[in-house]
Amino acid sequence: MSITDNKEIIQNRNLHVAIIIRRNCNMRCAYCSPLGENKFSKGDICKDLSMDEIKEIIDLGIESGFNIFRLSGGEPTLHPEFDKIVKYILNKNNDTKIIINTNGFKLKQYIDLIKDNKDRIEIRLSLDSTDLSHKSQGIGKILTPEIQDIINDLIKSNIKLRLNSVITKTNISEVDKLIEIARKLGTHIKFFDLYLEEDFIGNKNDAFKWWKNNHISLSNFVASLEKQSGKSGYLSYSNSRCGISAMTFDLGNIKVFLQDSNNGANYNPKYCYDCKYFGNLCRVGFYSPIVTSAMVIQPTGCRVKQFQRSLKGKTHDEQLKSFDNVINIFKNIELIIPSKKNQV
Ligand code: SF4
C-alpha cells in the first residue's frame, strides 16, 4: 500500500499505534493478565522495550502515516526512560500526539512534562473504586489520597483527562460514585464490562467460570443514565472508530461511555466470520494496531497468529510492510453484532 492509502485508513478510523513499552505493572488486578496488553503476543514478552526499539517503532509509525501514539503496558510510567520516550515522540513532528494509559501512581513525577505539552498529551487514568476494602478483592485502582492528589494536579493544570473503569460484580456499587467524581472534576468517564478472554483474566485457574461469576452487563446502567441525562444514549466511539462502540450519555459538560462487549464490535467479515473466536472469546474485534514488548505488530485484541508480525531482525522495508499489512486489516471493518449462537 502507499502512504496515501495508509493515511486514508488511519484518518477514517482515527487509528493510533499502541506501544507496550513496559511489560510489568505495580498492581495485580484480578481481571488483568500479568502481561496486560501483551497477552496475545508470541515471542519474548518478558522484558521492557529498549529506548532504541521504541525509537524504531515510533519512526516506523510516523513513516506509515500515524501521528498518535498510545503508551501502554503493564504500567508505562514505570519504564525507566518514560520521559525520554514522551519527548522523542513530541520532537519527531509538530503534530504528534500521545495518549497515556496509566493507573496514575507515578504521574506526579512527570506532571511538568505533561503540563508543558498539554495540547498534545491525553491521560487515560484507570480508576475502579473509591473503596479501599476492594483491594483484598483484586481491585488495585482505588481512589487513594495520593491518586486524588494527582487527579487534582491534572485538573488544575487543564490536562486532558479521561477516567476508565472496569465494572464487575465486585465494584458495581461504585458506578454512581465514579460518575459523581467525574462530574465534579468535569472529565469524561468510560466504563468497560469484563471481557471474556481466557488469557486476559488468566491469573485465575478457571477463567471462564471466574468471568461468569464476575461479569455484569453495563445495560443495567442505561435507564439511570438516561434519567440523569434527560435524553436517550447514543452510540459513539470515545477514540478510535474501531473495536466496540460505546453507548454514550451527555451529562452536562461530561460524557459517560458504556462500552459493553455484548453489543458487537468492528470485525472484518473477510477474516472474522470463519474465526473460531468470533463473538465468543473475541468480543472486541479489531481495535487499533499495537506493538508489543516482543516487537510484534498486530491488531489489539485479535488473537489470530496470522495477523501478528515480528519486527525483530527484519529489514526496514519488511518492517514497513508489516505496518501496511496491519493497517490494511482496518480498511473493511464494520460494526457487527454476532448472533447469540456464536456466544458462549
Ligand atoms: S480473533 Fe481476530 S480474526 Fe478472530 S474474530 Fe477476533 S478480530 Fe476477527
Residue 95 confidence (pLDDT): 95
Residue 45 confidence (pLDDT): 53
Residue 329 confidence (pLDDT): 94
Alpha carbon of residue 327 to chain centroid: 17
Q: How far apart are the CA of 215 and the centre of ligand 1, in A?
A: 21
The Cα 66–Cα 80 span in angstroms is 25
Residue with cell string 459513539: 236
Domains of the chain: 3-333 (3.20.20.70)
> Between the CA of residue 4 and those of 7, 65, 168, 250, 268, what are the distances in Å?
5, 8, 43, 36, 21
Residue 146 confidence (pLDDT): 95
Q: How far apart are the CA of 327 and the centre of ligand 1, in A?
A: 15
The Cα 10–Cα 16 span in angstroms is 8
Interval 173-201 mean pLDDT: 88
Interval 100-106 mean pLDDT: 96
Residue 117 confidence (pLDDT): 98
Q: What is the residue type of 242?
A: C
Residue 342 confidence (pLDDT): 58
Residues 6+ apart with CB under 8 A from 138: 28, 29, 30, 31, 170
DSSP-derived secondary structure letter, 181: H
What number does the ligand 1 atom closest to the CA of 279 have?
Answer: 5
Out of 143-152, 179-188, 235-244, 334-343, least confident range: 334-343
Looking from the CA of 221 toward its CB, the CA atoms found within 13 Å total 28
117-155: per-residue pLDDT in tens?
Answer: 999 999 999 999 999 999 888 888 999 999 999 999 999
DSSP-derived secondary structure letter, 145: H
9-25: per-residue pLDDT in tens?
Answer: 999 999 999 999 988 88
Out of 8-12, 73-77, 189-193, 196-200, least confident range: 196-200
Q: How far apart are the CA of 281 and the centre of ligand 1, in A?
A: 9
pLDDT band at residue 36, thresholds of 50, 70 and 90?
low
Which residues lie with the beta carbon below 6 Å from any ligand 1 atom? 267, 271-272, 275, 277-278, 282, 285-286, 302-304
Residue 201 confidence (pLDDT): 58
Q: How far apart are the CA of 332 and the centre of ligand 1, in A?
A: 13
Q: What is the residue type of 275?
A: C
- 166 - beta bridge partners? 192
Work out the angle at residue 177's Cα, subtended by the Cα atoms of residues 236 and 157, and round it to the nearest 5 degrees.
Answer: 70
Is residue 90's pLDDT more than 80?
Answer: yes
Output the residue whose Cα is nearest ligand 1's atom 8. Answer: 272
37-65: per-residue pLDDT in tens?
Answer: 655 555 555 678 999 999 999 999 999 99
Residue 270 confidence (pLDDT): 93
Output the residue whose Cα is nearest ligand 1's atom 1. Answer: 302
pLDDT band at residue 26, thresholds of 50, 70 and 90?
confident
The Cα 290–Cα 311 span in angstroms is 12
Interval 112-119 mean pLDDT: 97
193-244: per-residue pLDDT in tens?
Answer: 988 765 555 555 677 788 888 899 999 999 999 999 999 999 988 788 888 8
Residue 222 confidence (pLDDT): 96
What number does the ligand 1 atom closest to the CA of 286 have?
Answer: 7
Residue 62 confidence (pLDDT): 97
266-306: per-residue pLDDT in tens?
Answer: 999 999 999 988 887 888 899 899 999 889 999 987 888 89
Quote the pTM value. 0.93
Residues 6+ apart with CB under 8 A from 11: none
Interval 68-73 mean pLDDT: 94
Residue 185 DSSP SS3: helix
The Cα 18–Cα 73 span in angstroms is 9
What number does the ligand 1 atom closest to the CA of 268 have?
Answer: 8
Interval 180-197 mean pLDDT: 92
The Cα 179–Cα 186 span in angstroms is 10
Q: How far apart are the CA of 202 and the centre of ligand 1, in A?
A: 19
Q: How far apart are the CA of 141 and the centre of ligand 1, in A?
A: 29
The Cα 295–Cα 311 span in angstroms is 6
